[in-house]
Amino acid sequence: MFLVLAVGLALVALCSGGSGGSGQKKTAARRLVVEVSESHCGRGWTRPEPGVQTFDLHNTSDGAAEVYLEDPGSHAVYGEVEGIGPGTTRQLTVRVGKGAYAFMCVPDDADAVTGPTVRVTGGRRGPGAAPVSEHDLIPPALAYQKWVGGGLSTAVRLSADLKDAIDRGDLAAARSAWLPAHLQYERLGAAYDAFGDADGEINGTDAGLADGVHDKEFTGFHRIEYGLWHGESASGLRAPAAALVKALTGLRDSWAQSRMDPAQLGLRAHEILENTVQFELTGRTDYGSGSNLATARANLDGTREVLSRLRPLLTTRYADLPGLDRELTRAGQALDGSRHDGRPAALDRLTRAQRERIDSLLDDLVERLASVATLCDPRRTV
* Ranges of H-type helices in the chain: 2-16, 134-167, 171-186, 192-195, 197-203, 220-228, 234-254, 265-275, 292-314, 321-337, 352-375
Q: Provide the β-strand partners of residue 35.
A: 58
The pLDDT assigned to 3 comes to 33
To the nearest 10°, report the CA torsion of 7, 12, 13, 16: 180
Q: State how far the Cα of 214 lies from the Cα of 206, in Å rounded to an integer.
A: 8
Helix (H) or strand (E) holding 90: strand 89-96
Instruction: Indicate the pTM of the whole model.
Output: 0.82
What Cα–Cα distance (Å) separates residue 286 from each residue in 148, 173, 289, 290? 25, 20, 7, 6
Q: Provide the β-strand partners of residue 120.
A: 99
Query: What residues of the chain score a pLDDT lower than 70?
Result: 1-29, 381-382
CB 264 within 8 A of CB 350: no
Nearest to 324 by CA among 270, 267, 260, 247: 270
The pLDDT assigned to 18 comes to 34
Q: Kindly report, residue by residue over 49-61, the tens digit of the pLDDT.
A: 999 999 999 999 9
Task: Confirm or reject CATH 2.60.40.420 for domain 30-120, answering yes or no.
Answer: yes
- Domain 30-120 and domain 134-375, same fold? Reply is no
- Extents of the domains making up the chain: 30-120, 134-375
Nearest to 221 by CA among 181, 171, 272: 181
Q: State how far the Cα of 189 lies from the Cα of 207, in Å rounded to an integer.
A: 19
Selecting from 3.40.640.10, 1.20.1420.20, 3.30.365.10, 3.90.550.10, what CATH number does the domain 134-375 have?
1.20.1420.20
Q: State how far the Cα of 291 lies from the Cα of 244, in Å rounded to an integer.
A: 19
Residues 6+ apart with CB under 8 A from 47: none
